[in-house]
Amino acid sequence: MSEHDKPLKKVCIICAKGSIEDVYATLVMANGAVMEGIEAKVFFTFFGLDAITKKQMNKLHTATVGNPAMRMPGGLPFPTILGMLPGVEAGVSAMMKSQMEKLDIPPVDEFLEMITAGGGEIYACKLAMDMFKLTKDDLHDQVSGVLTVGDFYAMCGGEGTQIIFT
């Protein structure tokens, strides 16, 4: 059976982490799906909620400590002790965002708008919302609703559907 016999029709993407790379992996995959005419439903939970929380969404960071793939511009190793210094993580994160902007990758809020403009749907996890004491008002306008995991699974049926955990 080739991939053309059963094309991908829907992706259900779960994001549970709040670093730049985890959130953007989710957003790029969701947006890429709707651009190809594939239905996309995105579920943010735990620290992933930062990506849809108004106060946090455009201030995401990437970890400069405990990240072995972290390198200096030019490819030299990035000493962990440097990553601990105040301001370094913010600086590195700002640099990553500026590099992405050059490739026309938008800030998180605009990215969510791009996804929903294409018919994608964004959801928040009820359990994590309760845990972090968040309400619907704390979330960005593009969030369609707050769901239990059961509600989310109920949306993930149908032939040609894949669940992706980023």
Partner 1 sequence: MTEKLIAGKTVQVNEEGYLTDASQWNKEIATEIAKELEIELTDKHFEVLNFLRDKNAAGEPLTIRKVGKSGIVDIKGFYDLFPGGPLKYSSKIAGIPKPVSCV
Query: How are strands ordered across the β-sheet holding 121-125?
Result: 143-147, 121-125, 39-44, 10-15, 161-165
End-to-end alpha carbon distance in the chain? 27
Nearest distance, CB of residue 25 and partner 1, angstroms: 11
Write b or e for each residue in 41-67: b if 16 or more Cβ atoms lie within 10 A of its Cβ, otherwise e.
bbbbbbbbbbbbbeeebeebbbebeeb
Residue of the chain from 10, 13, 20, 31 that contacts partner 1 (CB under 8 A): 31
Q: Is 113 in the site for partner 1 (CB under 8 A)?
A: yes
CA distances from 157 to 125, 139, 141 (A): 18, 26, 26
**Which phi and psi (to 5°) does residue 12 adopt?**
-115, 115
Nearest distance, CB of residue 111 and partner 1, angstroms: 8
Q: Is 96 in the site for partner 1 (CB under 8 A)?
A: no
Q: Is 7 in the site for partner 1 (CB under 8 A)?
A: no
Nearer to partner 1, 37 or 160 (CB): 37
Nearer to partner 1, 37 or 77 (CB): 37
Q: Is 134 in the site for partner 1 (CB under 8 A)?
A: no
Q: Is 36 in the site for partner 1 (CB under 8 A)?
A: yes
Q: What are the residues binding partner 1 (CB under 8 A)? A: 28, 31-32, 34-37, 103-106, 110, 113-114, 117-119
